[in-house]
């Protein structure tokens, strides 16, 4: 990661933490951080949304049982996830898109 990308990521974490402590709801935190990164780093909405969403997901995962995507087994059509209990789950991209489309209140959507 280059220095600008690292600074942008650090900014996203800092802003999200500050906004969460300011009692904004999740959607407001994400939207304000995206707008701020776009202005501060003169980047596209897509790039700011990707950085913000990754930072939000990392912050939300803090203190929760570990789960991870196994990139060595994941392919272009399937995603392999291992959870804390040792279970392995395999999802097709089609299943993940169906899940995404069925969720109406998620904040982690990037439509860029």
Q: Tell me the pLDDT band of 109, cut-offs 50, 70 and 90.
A: low
Three-state secondary structure along 75-96?
Answer: CCCEEEEECCCCCEEEEEHHHH
DSSP state of 24: -
* C-alpha of 3 from chain center: 20
Domain ranges of the chain: 3-61, 68-102
Distance CA 97, CA 23 (A): 31
pLDDT at 76: 96
Alpha-carbon span 4 to 14, nearest angstrom: 15
Over residues 46-92, the pLDDT tens digits come to 999 999 999 999 998 888 888 999 999 999 999 999 998 989 999 99
């Amino acid at each position: 990661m280059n220095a600008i990308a690292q600074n942008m990521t650090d900014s996203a974490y800092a802003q999200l933490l500050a906004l969460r402590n300011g009692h904004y709801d999740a959607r407001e935190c994400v939207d304000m951080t995206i707008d701020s990164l776009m202005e501060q780093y003169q980047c596209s909405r897509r790039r700011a949304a990707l950085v913000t969403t990754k930072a939000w997901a990392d912050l939300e995962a803090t203190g929760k049982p570990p789960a991870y995507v196994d990139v060595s087994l994941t392919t272009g059509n399937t995603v392999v996830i291992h959870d804390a209990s040792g279970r392995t789950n395999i999802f097709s991209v089609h299943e993940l898109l169906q899940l995404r489309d069925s969720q109406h209140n998620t904040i982690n959507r990037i439509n860029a």
